[in-house]
Every structure is written in C-alpha cells, then in structure tokens.
Amino acid sequence: MKLFRNISYKNNIAYLFSCAIFFMIISCEEDLTKNKDKNNKNFPSQIINNANIIQRDSGFVTMRAKAPIIEKYELIDSPYTVARKGIDILFFDKKKPKVPGKIKAKYAKFYDYKQFYEARGDVRITTNENERFAMQTVFWDQRKKRIYTRDTVYVTMKDGSTLIGAHGMTAKDDFSEYVFYQNSGDFTTDQLSENKR
C-alpha cells in the first residue's frame, strides 16, 4: 500500500509540474500576440555597404552614385532610402554626356512614392557647365523637376564671379533657370544673362 501511495504522489507532482509548464508556454504565446501589433516596422529591409549604383534610361547612364552605406526602408506605408554616411552622385545629361554634374552631401534621403529627394550637410552641387553651388540643405521634387532650398546659397559661376542667395533659391532640376532670394555678389546682370543663353 505504501508503494502505491508514493507512486501516486510522484505522479501528482509530475502532473502539476507539466501543467505549470504548459500554462507558462501558453501565457508567453499570448504576450507575444498582444505585442505583435505594437512592433515597429521601421527598420531597413535592405542594407548595401560600399554602394556603387548606376541608373540607366534606354541604355544611357543617367546617374552614378557611391555611398559607404545605403539603407532601404520598404516595409512601411511611405518607403524611403537613406544614405546616412554621405553620398557622391554624378548625373549625366544627353546634351553633354561626357561632362557630368556632381552632387555631394553628408546625408541624403529619397522618398520612393513621392519621388522626392533631400540632401543635408555641406551640400555641394557642380553643374555640367561648371557652376558650383554650396548650401546646407537642398530638396529635389523629381515630379515637378524643381530643386529648392531656403538656406543661404553660395554660387561660383564658371567665369569666377560669385553670387549669394541669402534666403535660398529655386531652380529647374537641370539648372537651366534659377531664382535667388535676397541675392548679392560680384557680377553684372549681363554676365548672368550671358551664362543662361
């Protein structure tokens, strides 16, 4: 009789122990499902180290970009791509395919659906006409083909004359036309109109 009681007592302890483990597992699973909706989806789905990207249009190279790291965020409602450690871009025009324009910045971001770019931190733009623009931030609305900034813009023309747009500028994305706000510099309006013919 004593043997039967010891076995039954040990079976009860084993049964209680397995029930406790079962309920612990179930409660952990419930916590995971509750927190599932709160998970942040804003993390990179792709990371490219030492990126060297070439963009083509009908076989013609329109852009070459280099960056130490590029991150693509695709799992959110408004996907975007970011170059946090800077980017160097060469952009090519079919009118002057051998002389690329250049953009350099410490940070860049591209919003996929909006087709909208932003560059920040010592932004330097050199056109294929060798006009140089320096500013802290610049925005490019690719759909509207407009570039703009509200920062002070420093411009050096190919003839060496300079211009300062104290309250920013807007321009066509090929820099064939631009408007500066509260500008000053060492050029004449004849020089500016000659450059834009």
| pLDDT, tens digit, 9 for 90 and up, residues 7-42 | 455 556 656 566 556 556 555 544 544 555 556 667
Query: What's the average model confidence in pLDDT over 53-77?
Result: 88
Q: Rounded mean pLDDT of 53-71?
A: 88
- What is the residue extent of each domain of the chain? 42-181
pLDDT tens digits, residue range 96-152? 878 888 999 999 999 988 889 999 999 999 988 889 999 999 999 988 989 999 999
Model pTM score: 0.69
The answer, yes or no, to whether residue 47 has pLDDT greater than 80, is yes
Structure tokens at 145: 């083909």
Fold of 42-181: lipopolysaccharide transport protein A fold (2.60.450)
Above 50 in pLDDT, residue 4?
no
pLDDT digits (tens, 9 = 90+) for 129-144: 889 999 999 999 988 9
**Which residue type does 178 have?**
Y
As a whole number, the mean pLDDT across the chain is 79
Read off the pLDDT of residues 159-170 as tens digits, 9 standing for 90 and up: 888 888 888 899
